Amino acid sequence: MILTRELVQADIDTLPEDYKTKDIDRLIARYVREGADASPLRPYVLAEQQFHRVYYYVSLEQIKSARERMAFIDRNLLFSDWWHTDGLIRFVSDLDFARAMSYARRYVRSADPFIRRWGYVMFISRLGRGHADELLPLMADHDHYYVQMGEAWLIAELAVFEPEKVYLWMTDNHLNYSINGKAIQKICDSFRISNEWKERFKGLRPELRKRQ
């Protein structure tokens, strides 16, 4: 089956008027079972949001190798908001870390804020676990809100498994407080980080604020 714009739009039009993500995912599952080719949707994913999830998920669900899934994403960095970048995390969780870093170093320097965000959030899975020493140096002073939130989310995720390393790094990272503060809030919101560590991170706030 070739997924033309017209075919997919016709299928979407059969969904309830207030359709939810789960309705689209059922449609995607059918396309995957039928081995559909979603490549004709590529020209429309930025202009017509309803095709974005279909294009990526139908394609990626049929690619078995994490390396090939990452290569597909790299050829298709067609992001328009945080929701779309975050939805791809699970497709690269099995990638080897060194290869992932080779992509991320390029992404975090992109002019596109949602590609920069992807350079951070792609590690929020087992892919980034135990790699605080390599990932924390990627953090930089970005002024875009959703990039900052991506950094904060990754910092908090690293703190789940390596709180001591994250804590020591935060005492001397010289990042803008808007990033450190968001990271501390994410840490405090986490159910996987002990109250003792949360208090220690909160204790950094006065000194971090003074640096601004």
- Single-letter residue type at 40: P
Check: pTM over 0.95? Answer yes or no: no
Write out the DSSP string of 45-105.
Answer: TTT-GGGHHHHHHHHHHT---HHHHHHHHHHT----SHHHHHTTGGGGTTS-HHHHHHHHH
- Look at the alpha carbons of 34, 37, 38, 40 in this order and tell me if their dihedral is positive or negative: negative
Euclidean distance between CA atoms 20 and 64, whole angstroms: 27
209: buried, middle or exposed (CB in 10 Å: 19+, 13-18, 0-12)?
Answer: exposed
- Bridge partners (DSSP) of residue 37 are 2
Determine contact, residues 138/102, Cβ cutoff 8 Å. no
pLDDT of the chain, 212 residues: tens digit per residue: 999 999 999 999 999 888 899 999 999 999 999 999 999 999 999 999 899 999 999 999 999 999 999 999 999 999 999 998 999 999 999 999 999 999 999 999 999 999 999 999 999 999 999 999 999 999 999 999 999 999 999 999 999 999 999 999 999 998 999 999 999 999 999 999 999 999 999 999 999 898 77
The two tokens of residue 26 are 């059922």
